[in-house]
Structure 1
């Protein structure tokens, strides 16, 4: 059984600190270790079959094949398709393959771009894989997936009909790297059908793990040619797409272009024609055929107006899907341009400037940290906040007065394995300058800050895209970056990436525990009313002959006395009372004596009083936004992540928390803090053995 998500989050965070999930040390996707699996197969002399992506209709998915064709599918290893298969033949090229029946032109266009960058290609596609030496039907590929590099293992069984590949296929039938790469990506997407429809930016990002920049060609920047030219000279990958037609069909227009289709930018060239300089863009159709037939196409007479050298260098008359067109026609007939690279130095042409990158994972949770956009001023402040201090420019960077020095990217992470089931929210972010009066402020900035200060930078619009980004200039100083969904109360995870040419210091600003500053707020002290002897008298009425109460007796005592008249959901459950007993039971008898009960009573009454003081809506429940104030009243400062966890664990689906749930939460929170303080050095719990950990975890 896999470990709970909370545990895995901690493990993944530790792995990240240890360098796992990086380019040089990728994580094992679905915990499948390529080296161990290969050793096992070689020792046992068996061919590998991947039970995590099995060779059956589940891996093909729904909708990509008709039911009749699905019945005809046979999964074959390359050695059963051709007599002598190879991983690659005469190198790797965009002309090696053509698209199959699944609509993944966006992915194949990105592969076309990948073939131009050898270093990036070898990171994604290990080229030392073969079908002869140490072959066991096992292959692997690497992708960057939402903040970390993963190594993806597959078997080499490929879906065929009548002995022919039904998805991507190679021009040389003995070459199989494209089909195996597509299968590995289908695995991370969930199935082949999950690859149907997309944009090049998604795969380009997953091939590089770098910076993505999307340019709207309806409103291109004035320096578009210079930008593309510099990107072409760097290690950038470029893809683009045509506008969608009236239907989702890939209709071929009279000019030869395909509607709603992805292409690869494969070259840029300036040529002299009739005394004028012409900027040309070379594009490639991942179908491997079908080309533009306008000016500067393969058979255009304009090629007769250039020098023999340019004619020889550029023109290749073949129906291979590749063609030239002017920059003007490119901007006219294409809707967007995606540029992905490891470093954004191409943006200003400064190859000597090394940008600093910072990744931050966060989450919006309905009711607690999903405040929506700035239009929702009362709740906007509850969104995750990131405080940024920008020093002067790094020494190797130029210091042009109007030079942009920061790129911020916000990417939403999927909450489902299958790509087609992921619902993208409209996301964006705003950047605020920290004014003088707030520079000493610690913890979240309140609503009053945002009502008095306007954003100095922000996304132009909220988009339901996987990623949004902006590139801007910020002078030295302190800033607050607030990522958000457009609508409040939408739950999703995200990655905030900040790249800066300036020396920059960034930290999450939710007011969580910081071991360098251990001081917490003073709790509110509540008078319990009545003396302890009166509590003991009541206790004896419910206790047994040994003056102890078990969970069932405690349940009656609490519900009939302390919570009388304030029950919203039937009172404390028996399970909740068992938990209370375990948390307060110092003698480990499964029961509470009078002293233990009195301590519990005082805590419960204190929590009850805090509950009603923070229930400003007077609904006898806490909204999850009111929960934040209630936790602060306990004298604890917690992070957004911890607040989200409490809301998910103890809150109802309605987005509210009952009195009983809040008391259970507060008691556990307080007791677990005490346990930590007893067993730790104030920062870490050290040398806790397995038996000790299980002893502690299974009773409390």
Structure 2
């Protein structure tokens, strides 16, 4: 009955943006292999700028999935199976002390005080002789809204019943009234990157002999009432369901990405988006303008300030052309549109019988059809949600592949606000940016979606949303887009040309709290490697003196009195600093032998020690390869297999073929051909050095000439 206005949110769209060589006949024998490299690779001996991103930000990062159902969090630490087993063993029905049969679970302001005292809590077994959790499957028509204004949640739930792949996540099958009944049930919801299992008892609030909240259309089917209770428990009380955001409920029931479209100023391709969303099994809903709490029903049957479910969108032959029509369902379970394309309208008389029989359901069940034009006139917002942004795949005959990378992190005090704008100073240089690459694009399709969600403290409600958003920039360039709204979830869909982009989360208020950032990138070539997501980094424009101090401080901490580092000290530094990162530590520690090899590759003076200058060059490469390793380790195993190694070599801009990759996996990998980070770093440093040596010596050709001593000097020390 109540659907909070979503504000004046607008989703934007970005369009296209605009060596010396060695002559063996004339050169004297070099004293070291590094002297050879100096002549082959001019510039190799000079100081390289350290990475502008000294270390990946210590935020939690995942790729691919939106939370795992294999690791479901137990809400209030309640384990459904253990509690049910305990109740069965003692012959008791479960009573949930964390969400008791008490007015506190209803909420103090939802009902007048005298009605709160009249509420009775009854189990389905007390209300019906033979109750069921589910009868003949789950359907939107099982739901009939009660006195509470949670149409926003029920509209999302109605859409969920159409998408079985999501429904089974929310409504576990291991429960019912027939077998192992103990008055206990559980449901799952997605919260800020993880699935949460919520346990409830089955005592339902009854007022004056009727259901106070959701009641089933079939008298002895109780899944809607129990699921509503579990969601109320998750949010603190039934009162906290009395008004909310349809967009939030869609995400909570799926773990997906949602986008809102204003029907007052829709994108020109909205019809195609609707059809693509329906075709790709998205959840959809819509809301009407007006004051939500008044629930004014217009003469045409549409309720003001109300949330509805979109259950279909088709294009059918009509008269001499085609007609776009949309099917909509009212969570009241009754109350329908009375205009064109309603159940009894004459428009259906002009539709071919096969279409009419397939589409028209002439019942007072709250569901109706209307034209796209009337839909745009009567409704104010459209909401679409799926695990990936498949609603942006219109015009694509195949199902596109979308890659996903998620980051959970903390906003620090002093983050840039809209008032301070985007700058490289102050908070902007102390909070993380998140980089991603677009390698290809079609200017006629969307290829990136960015979703930012603020994580509420427990018990915090929608009224306390901070105004959040993000700045989108090309790397080391101006801000291309900024978007801010006072909502839990801010999402934008974009068309971006090839390049490297950065996302900087921000808030309008200076307050520290957690956020979840998700970046979806469309893969047009249907290959995982078409897009490359990078690790989170500190901003690229950190002052140079801060860059220098990052590796200088490390060097001075571990260096000898003569301001050099030997292999033993390098081993200690790498194991204590680099292997703090979980992903790089899984493959094992740096051995003394591997550190001697690394040192030899960077040792300009061939004295077995690294100077500050040499260490700076090593640090720059080390951070580069660390980023590549974390990015290519897509399953977070801490290892790269041969295919991932090949992608990593390509990401580093180095040449390779299948045979070379196999040899590298054999030389540097474990028994299964996998490389941990330590071995990967040794491999890449050597491959990089040798590749540049050959390119400079060959002068663009495919052959080089060397003396035997030059060759031995080169290969034996490294």
TM-score by length of 2: 0.63
- 3-state DSSP class of the match of 1:182? helix
2:459 aligned to 399, 412, 417, which one? Answer: 417
Shift of 1:153: 0.8
Mapped to 1, the partners of 2:60 and 2:427 lie a distance apart of 27
Mapped to 2, the partners of 1:45 and 1:123 lie a distance apart of 29
Show CA shifts across 1:275-325 (max 9, x none).
231111010100011111111111212221211222222222222111111
Mapped to 2, the partners of 1:429 and 1:311 lie a distance apart of 47
1:160-171 counterparts in 2 under 5 A? Answer: 160-171=206-217
Shift of 1:212: 0.8
The aligned residue for residue 381 of structure 2 is: 336
1:469 aligned to 463, 471, 491, which one? Answer: 491
- 3-state DSSP class of the match of 1:248? helix
The aligned residue for residue 303 of structure 1 is: 348
The aligned residue for residue 219 of structure 1 is: 265
Show CA shifts across 1:212-244 (max 9, x none).
111111111222111111111112100010012
The aligned residue for residue 354 of structure 1 is: 401
1:392 aligned to 439, 458, 474, which one? Answer: 439
Question: Residues 233 and 373 (structure 1 numbering): CA distance in 2 closer, same or farther, change over 3 Å?
Answer: farther
1:509 aligned to 510, 534, 537, which one? Answer: 537
Task: Identify which range, 225-234 or 257-266, moves more after superposition.
Answer: 225-234
The aligned residue for residue 163 of structure 2 is: 117
1:189 and 2:239 correspond = no
Shift of 1:379: 4.5
- 3-state DSSP class of the match of 2:87? helix
Mapped to 1, the partners of 2:250 and 2:199 lie a distance apart of 20
1:500 and 2:521 correspond = yes
Shift of 1:362: 2.3
1:79-478 counterparts in 2 under 5 A? Answer: 79-245=125-291, 248-349=293-394, 350=396, 351-367=398-414, 369=415, 371-372=417-418, 375=421, 377=423, 379=426, 381-382=428-429, 384-390=431-437, 392-393=439-440, 399-419=441-461, 422-435=463-476, 453-459=477-483, 462-478=484-500
On the 8 A contact 2:392/2:446 being kept in 1, the answer is no
Gaps of 5+ in 1: 1-10, 394-398, 436-452, 526-682, 684-700
Mapped to 1, the partners of 2:317 and 2:109 lie a distance apart of 50
- 3-state DSSP class of the match of 1:238? strand
On the 8 A contact 1:388/1:504 being kept in 2, the answer is no
- 3-state DSSP class of the match of 1:294? coil
Task: Identify which range, 279-288 or 61-70, moves more after superposition.
Answer: 61-70
1:570-609 counterparts in 2 under 5 A? Answer: none
Mapped to 1, the partners of 2:310 and 2:427 lie a distance apart of 40
1:35 aligned to 62, 67, 81, which one? Answer: 81
On the 8 A contact 1:284/1:323 being kept in 2, the answer is yes
Shift of 1:506: 2.8
Question: Residues 332 and 383 (structure 1 numbering): CA distance in 2 closer, same or farther, change over 3 Å?
Answer: farther
Mapped to 2, the partners of 1:471 and 1:373 lie a distance apart of 24
Show CA shifts across 1:509-538 (max 9, x none).
2489xxxx9964539x9xxxxxxxxxxxxx
Question: Residues 205 and 373 (structure 1 numbering): CA distance in 2 closer, same or farther, change over 3 Å?
Answer: farther
On the 8 A contact 1:370/1:383 being kept in 2, the answer is no
Question: Residues 118 and 20 (structure 1 numbering): CA distance in 2 closer, same or farther, change over 3 Å?
Answer: closer
On the 8 A contact 2:67/2:255 being kept in 1, the answer is no
On the 8 A contact 2:443/2:495 being kept in 1, the answer is no
On the 8 A contact 1:433/1:479 being kept in 2, the answer is yes
Gaps of 5+ in 2: 1-57, 523-529, 541-547, 557-677, 679-718
Mapped to 1, the partners of 2:390 and 2:160 lie a distance apart of 19
On the 8 A contact 1:264/1:285 being kept in 2, the answer is yes
1:605-624 counterparts in 2 under 5 A? Answer: none
Shift of 1:504: 2.4
Shift of 1:65: 1.5
On the 8 A contact 2:122/2:206 being kept in 1, the answer is yes
- 3-state DSSP class of the match of 1:260? coil
On the 8 A contact 1:358/1:497 being kept in 2, the answer is yes
- 3-state DSSP class of the match of 1:123? helix
Mapped to 1, the partners of 2:532 and 2:276 lie a distance apart of 26
Shift of 1:124: 0.6
Shift of 1:261: 0.3
Shift of 1:457: 3.2
Mapped to 2, the partners of 1:466 and 1:371 lie a distance apart of 17
- 3-state DSSP class of the match of 1:142? strand
Show CA shifts across 1:451-471 (max 9, x none).
xx4212333xx2111111112
The aligned residue for residue 479 of structure 1 is: 501
On the 8 A contact 2:433/2:539 being kept in 1, the answer is no
Shift of 1:86: 0.5
The aligned residue for residue 633 of structure 1 is: none
Mapped to 2, the partners of 1:466 and 1:90 lie a distance apart of 36
- 3-state DSSP class of the match of 2:469? strand
Mapped to 2, the partners of 1:75 and 1:87 lie a distance apart of 18
Mapped to 2, the partners of 1:470 and 1:20 lie a distance apart of 18
The aligned residue for residue 646 of structure 1 is: none
Mapped to 2, the partners of 1:428 and 1:269 lie a distance apart of 34
On the 8 A contact 2:156/2:250 being kept in 1, the answer is yes
Shift of 1:13: 6.1
The aligned residue for residue 34 of structure 2 is: none
The aligned residue for residue 637 of structure 2 is: none
Shift of 1:373: 5.2
